[in-house]
Amino acid sequence: MLKAVLFDLDGVITDTAKFHFLAWRDLGAELGVTVDEAFNEELKGVSRIDSLERILAFGGLADKYSTAEKEALCTKKNDHYLELIQEMTPADILPGILPLLEELREAGLKAIVTSASKNAPGILELLQVKDYFDGIVDPASVAAGKPAPDIFLAGAELAGAKPAECIGVEDAASGVEAIKAAHIPAIAIGDAEVLAQADRVLADTSDLSLAVLRDTWEKATA
């Protein structure tokens, strides 16, 4: 039986993906590295420090900065990101998410946030949706970030469910890879080619519903 839904945040609950992109693009420009939308796809779902490492490697700068300098660059990116998201309100919840959370609550299914973002609790507050969730996995508490399965396995545990009793919702290729590595059925939102590993790809969050989640889960676990 499907017992829990494990939600990515950025690009699933709200469109913060565009703000992460802007903040990385500007930091990249300062470092002399062009972060365009195609390269940004590879940063989705990836932790802050791992994203910086990927940008530096992409620009041939892998060995240029010390650990302390890299931390300072991450802080700079995050300060800019926090400025960009400050004005977020419940109106920024993506279409279909609130009705889905209502449906889950009514049906007694658990909803867990499995985001790589250390900003997730603050964003859920801004969106005023924190109460809909039964738990938020602290990304700092897991050994390896997406595409490793750790955060989704921790999400299942937090829900008190087995991985096979959960379904994960993601917008990033690294996230879908992580869900599948945890042996959890996956629904992806976005480009079907980029997210081909998912059990079902939806063009938009407004296509999400408990019925779609159940149907996908049933087919994936049959």
Query: What residue ranges bind Mg ion (CB under 5 A)?
Result: 8, 10-11, 171-172
Tokens representing residue 154 in the block = 């921790």
Q: Which is nearer to Mg ion, 109 or 172 (CB)?
A: 172
Only one of the segments 43-51, 128-136, 151-159, 206-214 lies at the binding site for ligand BG6 (rule: CB under 6 A); that segment is 43-51
131 part of the active site? no
The two beta strands, 4-7 and 166-170, are parallel
The one-letter amino acid code at 136 reads: I
Q: Which is nearer to Mg ion, 7 or 217 (CB)?
A: 7
Cα 209 to Cα 11: distance, rounded to the nearest angstrom: 17
The least CB distance from residue 221 to ligand BG6, in Å, is: 26
Q: Which of 47, 114, 205, 216 binds ligand BG6 (CB under 6 A)?
A: 47
Cα 116 to Cα 99: distance, rounded to the nearest angstrom: 24
The reply on whether position 44 binds ligand BG6 by CB under 6 A is yes
Helix (H, G, I), strand (E, B) or coil at 30: helix
Nearest to 167 by CA among 183, 151, 147: 183
Helix (H, G, I), strand (E, B) or coil at 168: strand
The reply on whether position 116 binds ligand BG6 by CB under 6 A is yes
Beta partners for residue 136, in sequence order: 113
191 part of the active site? no
The reply on whether position 20 binds ligand BG6 by CB under 6 A is yes
Interaction residues for ligand BG6, span 83-112 (CB under 6 A): none
The reply on whether position 51 binds ligand BG6 by CB under 6 A is yes
Give catalytic residues, as residue numbers: 8, 10
